[in-house]
Chain A
Amino acid sequence: EAQVTQNPRYLITVTGKKLTVTCSQNMNHEYMSWYRQDPGLGLRQIYYSMNVEVTDKGDVPEGYKVSRKEKRNFPLILESPSPNQTSLYFCASSQSLVGTLPGEQYFGPGTRLTVT
């Protein structure tokens, strides 16, 4: 089954404790992206990757890191989480459509992160 998986689905942590949210896709997609969803703000793109070893900042990259060492995986790293990073996080993947633009994106189920 074609899918995007994220782990963990729920995470409660404390300020400053480094964490990684994993994302994996089995569709051989070039494009992968991380978003955060906050009430009233919609979805905001954190980082995206157009292929292996190619990553770029979205609209809200501060406080996050990513890496793309393999095509299928795109982990999101919070080196020193803070309470304002409490949010619902989605990973997505797609074929590249035109140039660097993503096509139809497949989204993971989401990771609800709480930082106290």
Chain B
Amino acid sequence: AQSVAQPEDQVNVAEGNPLTVKCTYSVSGNPYLFWYVQYPNRGLQFLLKYITGDNLVKGSYGFEAEFNKSQTSFHLKKPSALVSDSALYFCAAGSSNTGKLIFGQGTTLQVKP
């Protein structure tokens, strides 16, 4: 069965420091991976996706994610966090043989000034 795990409920970082939000996945076939962000009282917004190619994917708002096939991970990163990055982040995974998409439980990112 497909699954996505975000092992941290909350990540706290100081503004200006690098941040990492972790995600591991289990899918059959080739994985297709996504990150979405949900700001308070708002819908979800797409950040970035990995389909194929370069393992380092760049997305919106300065975020990037690294695909690691051997560790089945797709961690979200940003070199320098902003207070405005504080939000709920979701990792999602699918595979090409199904239209189903599995989301992780979400990780709350708190960036303190």
| Residue ranges of A at the interface with B (Cβ–Cβ < 8 Å) | 31, 33, 35, 40-45, 48, 50, 56, 58-59, 90, 92, 97-110
Contact = CB atoms under 8 A, between A and B. Distances in A.
B94 A102 contact: yes
Contacts, number: 73
A44 B43 CA distance: 15
B32 A104 contact: no
Contacts of B94: 101-102
B103 A44 contact: yes
Contact of B43 (A40, A45, A90, A99): A90
Contact of A45 (B36, B49, B103): B103
- Please indicate which of the listed interface residues B42, B98, B99 has the most CB atoms of chain A within 10 Å of its own CB: B99
A101 B44 contact: no
Nearest to B107: A42
A100 B100 CA distance: 9
A98 B94 CA distance: 11
B96 A100 contact: yes
